[in-house]
A and B are shown apart, each in its own frame.
Chain A
Amino acid sequence: MSAFGSYLRTVMDLGRDEARQDGSDTVEAQHLLLAITAGPDEVPRQVLAAAGLDHQTVMDALDREFEHSLAAAGASAAAFNLPRASTSLKRPHLGASAKLAVERGFTGQKDPQPADLLLGILRAQAGPVPRALDLAGVDQDDLAQRTLLARASQDR
């Protein structure tokens, strides 16, 4: 398997773990973003770290987005004091936002790189990831631009 194939497989496996921890039957873009922060390639990890984003800060930003979006409908997760459910054993399948990220990142790429998955995620204009980044004060377009630059320097 190519180095890229091995990277993608690892990140997808990590994304499935993130989805399971989240109690989700599907792997979504936010699970892939979390997977990238823990993934084996330094380029996308460093781009994110330079913007102050590691696994914990992305998780915090996503939690904040969740509460913020619930609050828009007058609800709060904190209001429900149930014990946490046991984790599902099902293998989460790729959800709509993750499929879009893959499509946006890799369509037309002859030489796919790990940074392309991050680029695909950052090209979303709606959904939990852009909202979480916005709430965390991260400029998504600037982050995408920096990812492109890092990818280009990796090619050299």
Chain B
Amino acid sequence: MLDTALSLNDLRFLMLGAGWTLLITAISVTAGTLLGVLFGVARAQTPVWVSLPIGFVLDIFRSVPLLIQLVLFNSFIPILGLRATPFSVSCLVLALYTSAYCSEIVRGGVAAVPQTTRRAARSLGMTWGRTWSRSSFPWRFG
């Protein structure tokens, strides 16, 4: 007869699942944060006709339930004729989802750096990249 009591074996199975959870989290949060910083900077620094579409697309990720997004992507990828494991689909969706939230945080951070600081850095002869790495980024992460 089938024994359904919780056993030590089940615990091992659950721990294995927790391991996968951690792995998906690590991948999607890393990718999502990197993408989010990219999108956030783009949204803060590019002209309106670039930043507005980016903002619109990312807003969709924040306005549709995650469950629906997962199901949608999972059914869309075979339609494209591609093969993907549920693992990679969930990593992809979660990364995009994280990046949508992260880009808002980054954009807020960029907005918090006074324009004058950035202008001062440029007047001192720093290049655009240098201004970012020496004044904008430390301000935002500090």
State whether these chains interact.
Answer: no
Binding site for A on B (CB under 8 A): none
Binding site for B on A (CB under 8 A): none
